[in-house]
Structure 1
Amino acid sequence: MVTSNTRLLLDRDALLSGSQTAPNAVALFEAGYLLAEVTRLLRAALDVRMRDLGLTGASWRVLANLAREDGLTQIELARRLEVSRVALGQMIDRLAKSGHVERRADARDRRIWRVHLTASAWEIIPALTETASQLRDRTLGVLTNEEMISLTGNLTRLRTHLRSVNRDLDASQWDGRSRGE
């Protein structure tokens, strides 16, 4: 007996072997899985390399986000890193103790704390960037320039769409849609 789960596995095998065009649901499932797996593998490889700079996996991600946009609030950083506010607070405490970041009160709302890189953190950002660039070249270098342009364009389009979907989901929490009303 061929169940829907068996069919999904058979279609997945056919997709991966290239022997047939898989149904859209299978292709979407596989694409989602591959995106997560590639992200996990890249993050693990970066974590290993960042240890040489004296940074943990969590700390280099905080510094990288702040290097892109210094002065984020702790809530914004927690969302970007997909960690709890408590976990981020502990990361910030450690980075402040090591002299990499400092908290400053928001100019308009003293209840809000913004996180800024210190001069010593800015000094290591070039090494962090170079390490990430070397890994990028080594890993993504298997793609041709055209494939890289296509991948970047598709991922950018997907990110924009997902941000829109997430905004809609966030809004539904406040208007009753998430409760089935």
Structure 2
Amino acid sequence: MGKKDKQEKALRKQEKALRKREEALSEPGALANSLVQASRSLRTVLSRNLTATGLYAGQDGVILALFEQDGLTTGQLAQALGVKPPTMTRTIGRMEAQGFLARRDDAGDGRLSKVYLTDLGRSAVSSITASVANCDRLAVSGLSGKEVKTLIRLLKAVDANLNPDGVPAEDEASAG
């Protein structure tokens, strides 16, 4: 097979792939609706699983971020979780009132306030990780390991396409 034949074959293959993608998207909103519904279902199950801890969906991410690196500022937490600082401020206030977090002035810079886990916050970590793991297992039941890896890879690609600068769009309900 000559170079020109290989190029033509590759071009036909690309055109066929484009046609298949367009056919898959022939129903307007099918992809967006499916992703949104799956996300809502996942959040509902996770919220239900977190009920025993006293946390709401979105608050688990705050605790896990602080468990990984305690003593973050509101801005650092907001950036890490892809929400706006005012949303994070409200979330921290709520979680502080619940007893999961405490704010303290930074020892080196009195203008800064940092957020720390309390003993109650630290004790919630194992319940959170178990809840998330159970939710993950339920979400992919019936899928093979290869399908799960492919799904994760594809969702990351979709996210990268929608967020080329790497900053996720804020979900108003995400920080509970």
Pairwise TM-score range, normalised by the shorter structure: 0.5 to 0.7
TM-score by length of 2: 0.65
Counting matched residue pairs gives 148
* CA contact 2:72–2:114 (8 Å) conserved in 1: yes
Shift of 1:145: 0.2
Structure in which a larger fraction of residues adopt helix:
1
* CA distance in structure 2 between the aligned counterparts of 1:106 and 1:130, rounded to whole angstroms: 32
Question: Structure 1's 161 and 21: CA in aligned 2 closer, same or farther, altered over 3 A?
Answer: closer
5+ residue gaps in structure 1? Answer: 1-19, 168-181
Post-superposition Cα deviations, 1:31-66, rounded to whole Å, max 9, x if no partner, equal 333222211210111112211222223433432343
1:21 equivalent in structure 2 = 20
| Structure 1 counterpart of 2:142 | 142
C-alpha separation in 2, matches of 1:90 and 1:67: 20
Gaps of 5+ in 2: 1-18, 168-176
Displacement of 1:91 after TM fit? Answer: 2.2
Q: Structure 2 matches for 1:18-167, cutoff 5 A?
A: 21=20, 23=22, 26=25, 29-81=29-81, 83-106=83-106, 109-160=109-160, 162-165=162-165
Aligned-pair Cα RMSD in Å: 3.2
Identical positions, percent: 24
Query: 1:135 Cα deviation (Å)?
Result: 1.8
**What amino acid sits opposite 2:25 in the alignment?**
V
> Partners in 1 of 2:161 and 2:122 — Cα distance?
33
Q: Deviation at 1:89?
A: 2.0
Report which structure shows greater RCO (CA 8 Å, sep ≥6): 2
Alpha-carbon spacing, 1:86–1:154, altered in 2? closer, same or farther (3 Å): same
Normalized against structure 1, the TM-score is what?
0.63
